[in-house]
């Protein structure tokens, strides 16, 4: 997982309470979803990109690689919106202005929402998010499933990378015929390993007298009581732009 690989535990908002970060993210998401403005989204995205780079202390190239996967997916998705297939005319594939404008609007809004979600994921750990869910009085069963699913995905991704590296060391992907066979073995072994990990997890929880409730140890953190400037200054800028666009 790319986010787990580049996550920096010494980012600039490490001592900020998660409630402030959650409010910042929620306000921006609601504003982007409600405001149907291409100009507003074009203003939010570069600011969020710079904010992610400065706040998380992650290298610029790593942030670009993080955005490259959703951008490629959005490009191929938006191409299908911009292209119109017309059988009545001589040209089979037509690019019209309405479709191009709609594809551009969808792309900008989607990448803006993704940047806000990335900011949330890169400034909070899984334990902080689970604590926030408990503060919100979410049922403990859903919180436990959330944490266990996350840990399960991390374990399976590490197992997959280890098995894939072992196959490459044994020259399993040199020929096309061997490549498909090796991939089939990889998928089958990962599936079998996932069942084994699930069984081991269940037995370990049962041996620890699991009674449908997982107890967590919370460390005392010296959270800042005031909202940091890294949050309220960009938020004020976005609110100002939002209000100004209402009267345009």
Distance CA 44, CA 46 (A): 6
Residue 143's pLDDT is 83
Q: What is the pLDDT of residue 146?
A: 83
**What is the pLDDT, as a whole number, of residue 114?**
92
Residues of the chain short of pLDDT 70, as ranges, are: 1-5, 86-93, 212-230, 232, 244-248
Task: Return the sign of the alpha-carbon dihedral for residues 24, 29, 34, 36.
Answer: positive
Angular region, 210: left φ>0, alpha ψ -120 to 50, beta rest: beta
Angle at 144 between CA 138 and CA 147, to 5 degrees: 110
Angle at 95 between CA 94 and CA 97, to 5 degrees: 135
Which pLDDT score, from 0 to 100, does residue 89 have? 58
Alpha-carbon distance of 209 to 131, in angstroms, equals: 23
pTM of the model: 0.78
Domain ranges of the chain: 2-124+224-246, 138-207
């Amino acid at each position: 997982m790319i986010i787990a690989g580049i996550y920096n535990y010494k980012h600039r908002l490490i001592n900020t309470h998660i409630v402030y970060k959650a409010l910042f993210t929620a306000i921006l998401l609601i504003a982007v979803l409600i405001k149907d403005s291409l100009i507003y989204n074009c203003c939010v995205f570069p600011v969020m990109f710079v904010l992610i780079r400065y706040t998380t202390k992650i290298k610029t190239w790593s942030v670009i690689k993080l955005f490259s996967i959703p951008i490629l997916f959005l490009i191929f998705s938006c191409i299908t919106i911009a292209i119109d297939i017309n059988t009545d005319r001589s040209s089979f594939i037509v690019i019209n202005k309405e479709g191009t404008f709609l594809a551009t609007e969808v792309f900008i809004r989607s990448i803006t929402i993704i940047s806000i979600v990335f900011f949330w994921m890169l400034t909070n750990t899984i334990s902080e998010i689970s604590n926030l869910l408990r503060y919100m009085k979410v049922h403990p069963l859903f919180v436990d499933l959330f944490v266990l699913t996350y840990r399960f995905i991390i374990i399976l991704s590490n197992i997959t990378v280890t098995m894939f590296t072992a196959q490459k060391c044994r020259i399993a992907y040199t020929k096309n015929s061997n490549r498909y066979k090796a991939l089939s073995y990889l998928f089958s072994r990962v599936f079998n390993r996932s069942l084994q990990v699930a069984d081991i997890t269940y037995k370990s929880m049962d041996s620890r007298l699991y009674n449908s409730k997982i107890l967590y140890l919370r460390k005392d953190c010296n959270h800042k009581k005031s909202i940091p400037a890294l949050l309220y200054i960009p938020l004020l800028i976005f609110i100002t732009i939002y209000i100004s666009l209402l009267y345009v």
